[in-house]
Amino acid sequence: MARAASPSIELEVGERTVRISNPDRVYFPESGATKLDLVNYYLSVGDGIVRALRERPCMMHRFPSGLAGEKVHQKRVPHGAPPWLETVRVKFPRYNRTADELCVTELAHVAWAVQMSTVEFHPWNSRRADVEKPDEWRIDLDPMPDCPFDRVRRVAGVVQEVLEDLGAVGWPKTSGGHGLHVYVRIQPDWGFKDVRRAALAFAREVERRAPEDVTTTWWRKDRDPKKLFVDYNQNARDHTIASAYSVRGNPEATVSTPISWGELGDVDPQAFTMFTVPARFAELGDLHEGIDDAVFSIDPLLEWAESDEREGLKEPEE
């Protein structure tokens, strides 16, 4: 429910009141979509976006003047945030600094972030209970420039096959770009380095099963431009990717959208936008709803990593 208060409006989001200033500011010039349109999109997928971000340190990709202006990667919550906003402190040893990052636990936190010109939400793969122990393993299927989407689909099928062999449940989503992501809930018993080692071992197994389609070559300049890179480094500390239901900062306002494995054959990632996803969500609900109930131990992957290392396959540096 909105109450007019020119030049801003107030939205009742759960038990909170969130003021939206400049609601008519155009954020997406190609479609004319405004700041308020973006807020309403996130409200329409509320359960999904909160589930995707819940209790994770979250970097905000802000566009204070809309997509036509500067993009700001914001880790620190600015001064003057409402007292009900939640944060989590994270350390950056390389710079000897800390930051109090947004920590979403309710939908009003998302609406506040959009009021602060956030378009994209990029959460960590760990939660505030122990930010050094990831509970989410991320499989990033990143196509090289000349890699067709049919190849992405094929590799996703191989990923599903390897996960089934491991007894793990994967939760796929579009990236909002040209690739796909698959998330796996894991026990938060390992640090980032071990999770990255496990992710690399998995990527190498996918490459073994689909050598014509997949590369794990570390340096971008050395990769075959027609192949798909399984980007295991997205599991390194402080590496983030757009969450499920995050709008992407592109002219089409595409959305990183959960899909079912059965949709792989004909899914068109460009069809998922902030204009189309609300109806899909209303019909299907959150396809990642059960993700927290399917928890996997990465022990088998660490055994694969040890085997690779014994054979002389070294882990690239971050």
4 pLDDT higher than 60? no
Identify the CA nearest to 31 among candidates 225, 201, 200, 274. 274
Task: Please give the pLDDT value at position 316.
Answer: 78
Q: Smallest Cα–Cα separation from 288: which of 244, 242, 246?
A: 244
Amino acid 2: pLDDT = 47
Mean pLDDT, to the nearest integer, of 244-248?
A: 98
The pTM (predicted TM-score) of the whole model is 0.95
Of 123, 149, 160, nearest in space to 244 by CA: 123
Q: Which residues on adjacent β-strands are paired with residue 16? A: 13
Structure-token pair, residue 99: 């930051």
Average pLDDT over residues 283-295: 97
Which pLDDT belongs to residue 176?
97
Can you tell me the mean pLDDT for 33-39?
98
Q: What percent of the chain has pLDDT over 90?
A: 93
Confidence (pLDDT) at 314:
81
pLDDT in tens, 117-175: 999 999 999 999 999 999 999 999 999 999 999 999 999 999 999 999 999 999 999 99
Q: What number is the average pLDDT over the span 94-98?
A: 87
Tokens at residue 101, please? 């990052």
Looking at residue 227, what DSSP letter applies?
S
All domains of the chain, ordered by start, with CATH? 2-123 (3.90.920.10), 136-239+293-310 (3.90.920.10)
Residue 6 has pLDDT above 80, yes or no: no
Mean pLDDT of all residues in the chain? 95
Q: Rounded to an integer, what distance in angstroms lies between the CA atom of residue 51 and that of residue 54?
A: 5
